Chain A
Amino acid sequence: MKRGLSGRARAIARPLITVAVLLLGWELWVQLADVEVYVVPSMTSTLEGMVTESEELLPAARLTVTETLLGFAIAAVASVALAAAFVAWRPLEKSVYPLVVTSQLIPLAAIAPLMITWFGFGLMSKLIIVFLICFFPIVVNGVAGLRSVETEKLYLARSMGASEWKVFAKIRFPAALPNLFAGLKLAAAFAVVGAVLGEFVGAEDGLGHIVLESSGTFDTVLVFAALMYLIIFATAFFYAVAAVERVTIHWHVSQRTGGEQSTRSLLTTAEAAR
């Protein structure tokens, strides 16, 4: 038990030490190399800016967070549904999947300005950009996950009279969760980038808007302060999705260190099919 606790403490301490070293390196570099503030502001002045400019930064952060979370949520629901539809009905996958892939080959940054023209500079255009960035990793991983069920399990379930819906809900979907979460975590990391991209091409407010405006006038402290807000939010969001994953699929091999899983998994399969 003692060992376990110190292990957890170490797990938290390690990345913190890395961050502390990087922050210290940043400060030392700016101080020792006498870097001008219009090139890079010091770590301390950035932290100061995060506090003194919070009146401007916090409402902007609220907007960016809303865009990110809402766009991500829509993408998550729609992508899982699409992945399920692909797996349920092959002809759909055959005809639409290539389109899904092609959609990712279009550089979003190139068409983002058009998005503003099509959907305005409000929330809608940001949601669509976040959605477009998020849905691909979720769909691809979702399809792979839904396909990854061992056929024995499916045979077993069907032989015990499970309906298609039941097979999906009790076997396919749970089996797909590890892959799905891999996709969701990728999407969570990209979602913030999408929201900022949307704000870059046209916005009234938001952290991306502040970055653009303040870099246009050499207010690098505000640029870095806004970036820090973005980094903190993006990191927190990613780890929040990871935490949901840990709670949801605590039984999966990726989440465990022990080895008592396989029998239990088979048992639940049989149980679920009943």
Chain B
Amino acid sequence: MGLREGVRKRTAALVSALVLVGVVIAGCGGGDDSDGGGESAAESSKPRDVTVRLDWIVWPEHAGYFVALDKGWYKDEGLNVELREGHGSGESVQLVAAKKDTFGTGNPSALVEAAAKGAPITMVADPFQDSGYSAAYLPDSGITSPKDLEGKTFAGVAGSPGYTLFPAFLESQGIDPDSVKTVTVQAGSEMTGLSSGRFDAVEWNSFAAPLSKAAGAGEAEVFAYGDYGIISLGWGIFVHNDTLKDDPEMVKGFVKASLKGWEYALENPDEAAKIMIATAEKSTIDEPTMAEMIRGLVPLTHTDATEGQPLGCMAVEDWETMIEFEKKYVGVKDPPPVSEMMTNRLIDGCEA
């Protein structure tokens, strides 16, 4: 190989490397303000297309949105809503932060974790001040009190509050978290692991007990973290801060219709279950089980701090408690102030 050829080859390699870098920068820089929530609200006559990224496949914690869609309450607010299945609160937080979806539903804890890393999102309503996260065990396991978990194996889904708050629950009962072996598993394999005896306890939601029976695992017993003073706020609605700033009326309309849907769903679980399964077309849960689980959501709507307030109102003190747990057990550092992560101002009648 001659000198000139060598130089030419090296130059070519350098140029192609620089082109690659350029393409990557251009491609990613442009993606920031693509589709999603940021359109103007000028055309109010035509229904606005908005998408909602649910935190999971069609699940009881989505009943209100399906009801609102089915009853046409989103249309009444000038919204053409598309409900999209998701895979975890973390994913819906990321998609909304990236403006790939207008709204998202999910755990406030996921929002706090993302906001601490700079994700510009705000929770605008939360129908559930408790998520019912629990440690579930089988009745014949010999476990009767939290103390019995010592020396046992507990399995949960990485990142889920049911997993991250487990040590908080143990410590609240004077149990050393290190005395229980904790394992992460894929979402969906908790119950099979429990019924096959691989795990002595798994993370679960109190309202999902009927599902374990339907899955043949028997009626699992639970230690609901909420009963032990552990705050684990349930699935709320969040938006990108730009959407909230540019289009508060649209967001308000969405919140209003959603909460109306939730009130109806919690009063009429059977009808809500029917609507969900008919709308979703595919669901792994049968109608009676879904209805029973929606019924199980009813006690989760309020904490002492929000008692007596309209559905969806959140309490700053509950958030602050949750954030303390997040700092201690998840390692969240420097989250923004609560007022920048949640607001009640789009719901009429909230105290704060």
Contact = CB atoms under 8 A, between A and B. Distances in A.
Interface of A: 17-18, 21, 24-25, 28-29, 32-33, 35-39, 112-114, 116-117, 120-121, 200-204, 209, 212-213, 215-220
Interface stretch (B37-45, B128-136, B183-191, B254-262): B183-191
B305 to A, nearest CB: 25
Nearest to B6: A10
Interface stretch (B57-65, B112-120, B225-233, B263-271): B112-120
26 contacts: A21-B21, A24-B21, A25-B24, A28-B21, A33-B28, A36-B117, A36-B118, A38-B97, A113-B185, A116-B193, A116-B198, A117-B193, A117-B198, A120-B198, A121-B155, A201-B189, A202-B185, A202-B193, A203-B183, A204-B183, A212-B159, A215-B90, A215-B159, A217-B164, A217-B330, A218-B119
Nearest to B159: A216
Interface in B11-68: 13, 17, 20-21, 24-25, 28-29, 32
Contacts of A36: 97, 117-119
Contacts of A213: 158-159, 184
A219 B164 CA distance: 14
A228 to B, nearest CB: 19
B118 A117 contact: no
A216 B158 contact: yes
* Most chain B beta-carbon contacts within 10 A, residue among A21, A202, A203, A215: A202
A212 B90 CA distance: 12
Nearest to B196: A117
* Most chain A beta-carbon contacts within 10 A, residue among B29, B116, B181, B184: B184
Contacts of A32: 25, 29
Query: What is the interface of chain A mostly: helix, strand, loop, or mixed?
Result: helix
Given A29-B28, A32-B25, A217-B332, 7 more contacts: A37-B117, A202-B189, A204-B183, A204-B184, A213-B159, A218-B113, A220-B117
A35 B30 CA distance: 11
A116 B21 CA distance: 42
Interface in B174-204: 181-186, 188-189, 192-193, 196, 198
B119 A25 contact: no
A29 B28 CA distance: 8
A117 B199 CA distance: 9
A6 to B, nearest CB: 11
A241 B304 CA distance: 63
Query: What is the interface of chain B mostly: helix, strand, loop, or mixed?
Result: mixed
Given A21-B21, A29-B25, A217-B159, A212 B192 contact: no
B331 interface: yes
B113 A33 contact: no
Nearest to B186: A201
A187 B188 CA distance: 29
> What are the 3 tightest A-B residue pairs by CB atom distance, in nearest-first order?
A216-B159, A38-B117, A25-B21
B193 A33 contact: no
A17 B16 CA distance: 13
Interface in B73-132: 88, 90, 94, 97-98, 110, 113-114, 116-119
B160 interface: yes
Nearest to B188: A113
A82 to B, nearest CB: 30
Contact of A117 (B24, B28, B119, B189): B189
Contacts of A220: 117
Contacts of B155: 121, 202
A37 B118 contact: yes
Nearest to A27: B21
Contacts of B110: 218
A117 B186 CA distance: 11
A140 B252 CA distance: 62
Contacts of A117: 189, 192-193, 196, 198
Nearest to A40: B28
* Most chain A beta-carbon contacts within 10 A, residue among B24, B116, B117, B192: B117
A68 B87 CA distance: 29
A260 to B, nearest CB: 24
Contacts of B331: 217, 219
Nearest to A112: B186
B25 A33 contact: yes
A203 B156 CA distance: 10
B193 A218 contact: no
A121 B119 CA distance: 34
A141 B193 CA distance: 37
Contacts of A218: 90, 110, 113-114, 116-117, 119
Given A116-B193, A117-B192, A212 B24 contact: no
B181 A204 contact: yes
A201 B188 CA distance: 10
Contacts of B20: 21, 25
A204 to B, nearest CB: 5
A116 B189 contact: yes
* Most chain B beta-carbon contacts within 10 A, residue among A18, A29, A218: A218
Contact of B17 (A21, A121, A217): A21
B198 A212 contact: no
Contact of B185 (A21, A121, A217): A121
A202 B184 contact: yes
Contact of B28 (A35, A116, A216): A35
Interface in B142-165: 155, 157-160, 164
A121 B183 contact: yes
Contacts of A114: 192
A218 B90 CA distance: 8
A36 B32 CA distance: 11
